[in-house]
C-alpha cells in the first residue's frame, strides 16, 4: 500500500481545559513516510498554537519522566523489601513479614461517584425494598 495523501488533525491543549484543533492535509513526497510527516506536522501544529502549548507539552513530558523515575525507584525498594523479608523469615526473626503493598492498587476499592449513588424504592404503604 502506498499512501499519497495524508490527513492529520491534532487537538492541542492550551490552558484552563481549553484546546485548539489544528488539521492538515498534505501530499507525501517521494521517500517520506507517514510517521515522519505526522511528527513534523505535530510540531508545526504546536508552533501554530504558540508558546503556551509548548510549555504544557514540556510539563507533560517532564511529569512522565518523573513518573518513570519514581516507578524505577519503587521497583528497587520493592526488591530490597522482598530480600529483607526473606532474610527475616529465614532467620526466624519475623516469620510473617507482610509483602510490600502494591501502591498502584491502593485506590482500586474507590468507586466513581455515580456508582456510590443508591436509590431506595418505597411502596405506596411506606414499605421499602
- Domain layout of the chain by residue ranges: 5-49
Give pLDDT tens digits for 61-84: 898 899 899 889 988 988 998 899
Mean pLDDT, the chain, as a whole number? 77
Q: Is the pLDDT of residue 110 over 70?
A: no
Band (pLDDT 50/70/90 cuts) for residue 114 is very low
Radius of gyration of the chain (CA): 27
pLDDT at 69 (0 to 100): 92
- Take residue 44 and report the three cell numbers written for it: 508545526
Instruction: Report residue 2 CA to chain centroid gap.
Output: 33
For 57, phi then psi, to 5°, come to: -65, -35
Mean pLDDT of 99-106: 66
88 vs 112, more confident:
88
Closest CA to 28 of 5, 44, 10: 5
Closest CA to 24 of 43, 9, 46, 11: 9
pTM value > 0.75: no
d(CA 24, CA 91): 67
Band (pLDDT 50/70/90 cuts) for residue 124 is low
For 50: left if phi > 0, alpha if psi spans -120 to 50, otherwise beta; the answer is left
Closest CA to 9 of 41, 47, 56, 40: 41
Amino acid at each position: 500500500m502506498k499512501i499519497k495523501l495524508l490527513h492529520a488533525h491534532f487537538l492541542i491543549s492550551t490552558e484552563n481545559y481549553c484546546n485548539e484543533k489544528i488539521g492538515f492535509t498534505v501530499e507525501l513526497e517521494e521517500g517520506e513516510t507517514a510517521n515522519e510527516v505526522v511528527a513534523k506536522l505535530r510540531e508545526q501544529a504546536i508552533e501554530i498554537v504558540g508558546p503556551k502549548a509548548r510549555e504544557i507539552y514540556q510539563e507533560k513530558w517532564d511529569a512522565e519522566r518523573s513518573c518513570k523515575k519514581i516507578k524505577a525507584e519503587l521497583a528497587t525498594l520493592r526488591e530490597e523489601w522482598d530480600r529483607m523479608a526473606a532474610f527475616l523469615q529465614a532467620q526466624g526473626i519475623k516469620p510473617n513479614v507482610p509483602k510490600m503493598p502494591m501502591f498502584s492498587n491502593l485506590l482500586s476499592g474507590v468507586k466513581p461517584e455515580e456508582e456510590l449513588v443508591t436509590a431506595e424504592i418505597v411502596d405506596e404503604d411506606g414499605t421499602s425494598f
